[in-house]
Amino acid sequence: MRKIYLMLMLLFLSGLAVADAGAPVYNFKLSTIDGDPTTLGAYKGKVLLVVNVASACGFTPQYTALEAVYEKYKDKGLVIVGVPANNFANQESGTNATIKEFCSAKFHVKFPMMAKVSVKGDDKTPLYQYLTAAPNVGGEIKWNFTKFLIARNGQPIARFEPAVTPDSPQVISAIESALKP
C-alpha cells in the first residue's frame, strides 16, 4: 500500500511540474545575497539573464563581461541575475557575505546577486527545477556559468552553455532581440 501511495504522489508531483512548465518565472522565491526574501517578480517586464556563478571556477572571469553587458543594456530593460551555486567541484564554498565581497572587490559587480542555492541534484532550487525542465532550454546544468535568457513575459527563450561568454555575438544578438519592443 505504501508503494502505491508513493507512486501516486510521484505521478501527481510530476504532473504539477509539467503543468507549470509554461508559467512565467516571476513567482519563484529566492533570497538576495544579503538574505532578503524576493521573487523574480521584482523584475517583471524586464529581460533577464539568469546565470549560476562560482568564485573559484575557470569561467569566473566572465563576471567582467556580465557586468559590462549589464551596464550596457540595463537602461534598455536587461537585468542580469547572478545565482551562486556550489554544485561543481566545490568552486563556490564561501558564505554569501564572502561571495558578495569577492564579486564587489574583484569584479565590481552591480547586477543583482542572489543567495547561494543548489542548481543540480536532489536539493535543486525550484527556479532551476523549472529552468532545466523548460521546453527548448531544458536539460541538466553541466557546469558553472550556464546562462538562461528570459523574455519580458517571463518565459525562458535561450540557453547558453558556460563556454559561451556573455559578450559573445550569440548572446548579445539574443539579448538585443529580446529587448526589442
Residues acting as catalytic residues: 57
71: β partners: none
Which residue has cell 571556477? 57
* End-to-end Cα separation, the chain, in angstroms: 55
Asked whether the beta carbons of 78 and 70 are under 8 A apart, the reply is: yes
Name the residue among 89, 86, 99, 79 with its Cα closest to residue 35. 99
Q: Which residue has the cell 550569440?
A: 170
Cell output for 181: 519592443
Distance CA 88, CA 34 (A): 23
CA distance 24 to 130: 10
Helical spans, DSSP H, in the chain: 2-19, 62-73, 96-107, 126-133, 169-179
Say how far apart CA 106 and CA 101 lie, in whole Å. Answer: 8
